[in-house]
Every structure is written in structure tokens, then in C-alpha cells.
Amino acid sequence: MRLAIAGAALLVIVAGAAFYFASEGAKRAQTGTAEGALTVTITDATCDPNEITVAAGPSTFTIVNNSSRTVEWEILDGVYVVEERENITPGLSRTMTTKLAPGDYDITCGLLSNPRGKLHVTPSAASAAEAAKPSMTAFIGPLAEYKVFLVMEAGALVTATQQFTDAVKAGDVELAKTLYGPAHTAYKHLEPVADRFADLDTAINARATYFEKQEEDPAFGGFHRLEYGLFARNSAEGLAPVADKLLADVTALQQRVRGLQVPPEKMADSAARLLTKVADSAATGDEDRYSHGDLADFQASLEGSRKIVTLLRPLTEKANPDLAKSLDAAFEATSAKLAGFKPQDQYLSYDRLGEADRKALADQFASLSTEITKLNAALGLE
């Protein structure tokens, strides 16, 4: 008990330090106004332009896919995904707006194996006003509680993955199939922050469509490679090395979570971004394309995002009571929508849902994401 209390106290201290440095970092962020959308065209081998310069602050990008494959476009700060758009099909485009701090970033250009482009963000005229933003010590408590949540969920992920990978290595296909879902949904609880570790997120959860040779690509691993072997091929043959690598990667993620610093303005932002990704996946049915357990994953993503909004709720209720109520209503509506696909306490296989149901689900998650994007402004974090 003494060790547990000491550990919790240490987490609070760490979270306080994280908040301080995050607040100092936030002062350096810029708030320039985007003049218009910048078009980036993705081909099979590169981006056009491959090197971009924008002013700090909100920037809008229109991503046009002129390649022959479905692609994603990411802005990366080292291994941290700053912003992304997934499931951009050939011939179509997606638009996104993100707030960028000064610095140099990488951009992905089609396949994950393609050379990356460069994004240069220059300081804006609004830096002095942003630097004057006061620290908000009210966030120390939510940050500390969220850190405890992440540490506990990372431990649950390692445990569930160990059980899953043990079954894979034992060649017990049916047992492994039953354990795949719980292990993967455990990862989904962490996914609001997992994209801060792009290297591990790719290794753990990247889908086959983002690799040149898809399922046969040597770089395709993690949960979805094992899902493909178990559900599409009904075999665990040759999967032992993949299982070992997955367990090693989630263990590495657990270690990184222990040292993670989440800036206060990134809490709601991360939740909103994750639910936008869920909306995209709901429309395409591409999350668990072999096991069709998408609905359980959506529920886990909803729970991980709701944890963040719940921790911020006392501050939200004080700053904007109407927004607090609308967020409550949006979460309840989304939960009810998911519950409608869970007869007899088990979610339907996603391939049983028609286009209309998928669209309704995607719209519900997109609407919830939009509500969450209002939090930072309400809490003075913009």
C-alpha cells in the first residue's frame, strides 16, 4: 500500500512537471491565420510539392491522391504524428486544417516505404500574443489522472497481448481468434496518445493497404498481420516471429507511456483526431477487414476518448456549461448508436452492416469529433 501511494504521488509530481513544460511549450506555439488551402498531390512515388513552407498557426491542406493505391498523409515531428488523413482513395482528395508550431517536419508521401517530404513552418506575427498566454494550473489534476489511466491501460495491453501471442505461438488458432479482439481493443484505449509514437503505432497497428505488397509485404506486421493469418488464412503457421515482435513493441510502448508528457491542449485534440479516424474507418469497414470486429474497436476508441473528456469536464462545465451538456449528449448518442448493433451482448460482424448503417455510424462519430474540437477554445487553450 505504501508503494502504491508513493507511486501515485510520483505520477502526480511527474504530471505537474509535464504540465509546466507543456505550458512553456504552448507559449511558443503560433496562431497565424491560414490564407487558403495548399494542395499536395500524392503520386505512386512522391508528393508534389515535396517541400513546403508555411507560416506558423492554422494551415489548411488539400491532399489529392493521384497514385494507384489508397494512401494516408501524415505530418510528423520525429516519431510523433502531428496530423493525418487516412483512407484517401485513388482519384479523390481530403482536406485538413491543423495548427503548426515553428519548426521542420516530415510528410509521408503515399506508401510508408516511400521517401518523406519536408514541411518547414516559419514563425508568425502572433508569437508575442501567444507567448503572453498564462499558465493554467487547473490542468494539473486532469493531467495526473490521465497519466495514471495511461499507465494502467498500457499494463492491461501488455497482459492481453501476452495471452494472445502465447496462443498464436502455440498454434491454437481458435483460442488465438478469441483473444485477438480483447488485445486489440486494449490498444484502442491507448490510441489517443499512441500516435505520438508513430514508429510503434506503425509496427503495432498499421493496415496492409499502406504497404507496397500489402499482406505479402515483409514490413507488414503487428495486430493486423496476425489477424490476417488467423482469420483470412485460418492458420498460425509462420506467425511466431510476428507475435514475438508485437509483444516486444507493446512492451516498448508501455515503457514510453511511463515517460509520456501530454500537453493540456493535446488532450481534447487527440480525442477528436482519433474519433475522426474512427469515422473514416466506419465508412470503409477497413479497421478489422479479416475478423470484422470493427464495432468492438469503435467502442474501445469511444471509451478512450471519453476518458479524456470526462477528466476535463469539471473545467468545461465551469467555462462553458452548454458545451459540457452537448458533449454528454453526443457521447450518449454515439454509445446508443453502437449499442444498436449489439444484440444478445455481442457486436455484429461488421460485414453484416449495410452502407446506410455504416454511413450513419460514421456521421455519428464525425459529429462527436466536431463537438470535442470546441473544447480547446472553451478552455482557453487556443
144 Cβ contact list (under 8 Å, min separation 6): 11, 12, 15, 16
- Is residue 13 assigned to a domain? no
Last residue of a domain, one of 81, 101, 125: 125
Q: Which domain holds residue 285?
A: 137-197+224-378
CB 188 within 8 A of CB 224: no
pLDDT of residue 18: 43
- Is residue 169 assigned to a domain? yes
143 and 292 in a single domain? The answer is yes
Check which CATH number belongs to the domain holding 65 and give it.
2.60.40.420
173 and 302 in a single domain? The answer is yes
> DSSP code of 347?
P
Please tell me whether the overall predicted TM-score, pTM, comes out greater than 0.85 for this model: no
3-class SS shares of the chain: helix, strand, coil, % to 5: 60, 15, 25
289 and 149 in a single domain? The answer is yes
327 and 230 in a single domain? The answer is yes
340 and 241 in a single domain? The answer is yes
CB 368 within 8 A of CB 360: no
**CA atoms lying within 13 Å on the CB side of residue 204:** 27
Reduce the DSSP state of residue 379 to 3 states and report it: coil
- Is residue 68 assigned to a domain? yes
Last residue of a domain, one of 125, 154, 169: 125
User: What is the signed CA dihedral for 87, 350, 197, 104, rounded to 10 degrees?
Assistant: 20
Q: What is the DSSP string of 43-87?
A: -SS-EESSEEEEESEEEEEEEEE-SSS-EEEEEEETTEEEEEEEE
- Is residue 24 assigned to a domain? no
What gap in Å lies between CA 148 and CA 150, rounded to an integer?
Answer: 5
Total domain count for the chain? 2
**Rounded to the nearest 10 degrees, what angle do helices 173-194 and 140-169 cross at?**
160
pLDDT of residue 129: 45
191 and 321 in a single domain? The answer is yes
CB 251 within 8 A of CB 156: no
160 and 116 in a single domain? The answer is no
Among 71, 115, 116, 118, CA closest to 93:
71
- Is residue 361 assigned to a domain? yes
CB 157 within 8 A of CB 193: no
CB 76 within 8 A of CB 118: no
pLDDT of residue 126: 60
Last residue of a domain, one of 125, 158, 185: 125
Q: Which runs of E-coded beta strand occur in the chain?
A: 37-42, 47-48, 51-55, 57-65, 71-77, 80-88, 93-100, 103-107, 117-122
174: which 3 cell numbers?
Answer: 481458435
74 and 113 in a single domain? The answer is yes
What gap in Å lies between CA 161 and CA 44, rounded to an integer?
Answer: 35
233 and 281 in a single domain? The answer is yes
What gap in Å lies between CA 249 and CA 246, rounded to an integer?
Answer: 5
256 and 373 in a single domain? The answer is yes
Give the mean pLDDT per block of 10 residues along the chain (382 residues): 44 45 35 62 92 91 93 91 90 90 91 90 67 61 94 97 98 98 96 87 94 94 98 97 98 94 90 94 91 96 96 90 96 96 93 96 96 91 80
Check which CATH number belongs to the domain holding 283 and give it.
1.20.1420.20
**CA atoms lying within 13 Å on the CB side of residue 229:** 24
Burial 2-35 (b: 16+ CB within 10 A, else e): eeeeeeeeebbebbbebbeebbeebeebbbbebe
Q: What angle do CA 184, 187, 192 make, to 5 degrees?
A: 140
- Is residue 22 assigned to a domain? no
Among 243, 212, 213, CA closest to 225:
243
pLDDT of residue 110: 84
311 and 350 in a single domain? The answer is yes
- Is residue 286 assigned to a domain? yes
303 Cβ contact list (under 8 Å, min separation 6): 189
- Is residue 132 assigned to a domain? no
CB 381 within 8 A of CB 265: yes
119 and 152 in a single domain? The answer is no
What gap in Å lies between CA 348 and CA 21, rounded to an integer?
Answer: 45
